[in-house]
């Protein structure tokens, strides 16, 4: 390195340390449900299915089901009062019927309904000119549109709600993926 290059380098390097690290863009962590939603929709496409259902192995009498349209994934989970009926439908692969049963005739206190309106996992904030995801649990809806003020909560409460919802959704997707892998 010649003398003028060293001089320029000597002037440039200290300036780098003056740039606060907080002003550098931080890459947001990918939601847990993102890769799982992509995997599930890929399996559904490959098997030419528009619905899937499974038992939730972590809780007795709880089932999970999904209805899929390109660009939209609707997932429901709930306790069902007559599990033998859903077990029979699972054996027959009547997945759409199970989805409808869980959506309408399940225990409302245990019902979770997720509207993944990109079929790409839950997103904490909506992209411009695109619909936003929702998470409904026991009749209380969380809208992930990025507007926590309109929901009368703090940003911290909003993000905690998102993280909890995303973790729950990821577990639901894992159960559905496992069912698809067993039946393929």
Q: pLDDT by residue (tens digit) across 36-95?
A: 999 999 999 999 999 999 999 888 789 999 999 989 999 999 999 899 999 999 999 999
Q: Is 179 exposed, middle or buried (0-12, 13-18, 19+ CB in 10 A)?
A: buried
Residue 68's beta-bridge partner residues? 73
Other CB atoms within a 10 A radius of the CB of residue 145 amount to 17
CA distance 53 to 172: 10
Written as six digits, the tokens of 150 are 């309109």
- The pLDDT of residue 106 is 76
pLDDT tier, 126 (very low <50, low <70, confident <90, very high otherwise) = confident
Closest residue by Cα to residue 137 from 158, 95, 107: 107
CA distance 102 to 106: 5
Q: Worst-scoring range by mean pLDDT, 33-47, 116-130, 151-165?
A: 116-130
CA 178, CA 182: separation in Å to the nearest integer? 6
Instruction: Report the distance separating Cα 151 and Cα 56, nearest Å.
Output: 31
Give the model's pLDDT for residue 47. Answer: 95
Inter-axis angle of helices 32-46 and 155-183, nearest 10:
30
Q: Which residues of 44-75 are buried (b: 16+ CB within 10 A; e: fewer)?
A: beeeebebbbbbbeeeeebbbbbbbeeeebbb
pLDDT above 80 for 178 = yes
Residues 103/76, Cβ–Cβ less than 8 Å: yes
């Amino acid at each position: 390195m010649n003398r003028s290059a060293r001089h320029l380098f000597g002037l440039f390097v200290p300036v780098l340390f003056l740039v606060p690290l907080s002003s550098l863009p931080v890459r947001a962590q990918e939601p847990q449900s993102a890769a799982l939603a992509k995997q599930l929709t890929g399996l559904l496409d490959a098997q030419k299915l528009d619905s899937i259902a499974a038992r939730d192995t972590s809780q007795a009498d709880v089932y999970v089901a999904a209805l899929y349209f390109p660009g939209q994934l609707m997932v429901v989970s709930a306790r069902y009062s007559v599990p033998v009926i859903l077990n029979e439908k699972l054996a027959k692969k009547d997945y759409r019927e199970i989805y409808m049963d869980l959506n309408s005739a399940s225990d409302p206190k245990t019902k979770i309904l997720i509207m993944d309106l990109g079929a790409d996992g839950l997103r904490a904030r909506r992209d411009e000119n695109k619909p936003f995801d929702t998470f409904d649990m026991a009749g209380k809806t969380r809208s992930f549109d990025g507007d926590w003020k309109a929901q009368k909560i703090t940003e911290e409460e909003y993000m905690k709600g998102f993280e909890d919802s995303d973790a729950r959704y990821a577990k639901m997707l894992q159960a559905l993926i496992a069912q698809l892998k067993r039946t393929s």
